[in-house]
Amino acid sequence: MVVACNTATVVAIRHLREVFDIPFVGVEPPVKVAAELAGHREPICVLLTQNTASGKKYADLVKKFSQGRRVEAVCLPLLAQVVENGSFRNRKVAAQVVKTVKNALGELSTGAKVVLGCTHYIFLQELLQEAFGPAVEILEPGRAVAEQVQRLMGEHGIGAEENGRRDFYCTGDVEAFAGRIGKLLGIRPPRVVQVEVRH
């Protein structure tokens, strides 16, 4: 089971591992990779949500893997909003995203690393990389998560070929969610099931 959200990983993965007898893979900002690649003077800028940034798990991650490098957490609510509503593909919105990120991060030196600490932001990776150019590297956790999943599948004898079906579960407006998923992932029509979360 992949907890494909940095915030959900921060707040829930420990509990999930205690309750369920199956392997869980969480998603974390690739601070360790950035620290291994960055020089001692170049900053590591982590774009993430406020919930992730304020969590102990993120603080422990930075403390453990930053190797003494300067790590700056930058929270920009606009980024998740434009991915969720799909407007990031609009030229004017894309320009606003780039302007907002550049203003927040300031002038970045050659070799600086920008870490995407929210799974929404992966849809903005190409846009941001183009905006910053080759002097700045944009890092996201997708490959590391996939490699961990493959390793666990091997350990548990699960076949590597995809089979079955893709189901999406939504606590909100099913039709609106299906439309967003269809546009973002190119799945038409996605199978979306309404669920209710009880506290």
Where residue 131 sits, what CATH number does that domain have? 3.40.50.1860
Q: Are 46 and 117 members of one domain?
A: yes
Same domain, 111 and 36: yes
The answer to whether 44 touches 35, Cβ cutoff 8 Å, is yes
Give catalytic residues, as residue numbers: 5, 118
Query: Is the domain of 75 the same as that of 169?
Result: no
In angstroms, what CA-CA distances link 57 with 12, 21, 28, 91, 120? Answer: 11, 22, 9, 36, 19
Q: Is residue 154 part of a domain?
A: no
Number of domains the chain contains: 2
Return the axis-axis angle of helices 77-84 and 91-105, rounded to nearest 10°. 160
Eight-state DSSP code of residue 108: P
Instruction: Specify whether 110 is located in the same domain as 139.
Output: yes
What number of CA atoms fall less than 13 Å from residue 186's CA on the CB side?
Answer: 1
What is the model's pLDDT at position 167? 86
Q: Do 173 and 132 share a structural domain?
A: no
pLDDT of residue 97: 97
Residue 137 shares a structural domain with residue 49:
yes
User: Could you give the CA distance from residue 124 to residue 114 in angstroms, rounded to a whole number?
Assistant: 12
pLDDT for res 51: 87
Residue 99 has a pLDDT of: 96
Domain that residue 178 falls in: 164-199
Report pTM.
0.85
**4 in a structural domain:** no
Residues 132 and 169 in one domain: no
Contact 80, 120 (CB under 8 A): yes
Q: Are residues 54 and 103 in the same domain?
A: yes
Mean pLDDT by 10 residues, the chain (199 residues): 90 93 92 84 89 88 89 94 93 97 92 93 96 94 91 87 82 90 84 85
pLDDT of the residue at 96 = 97
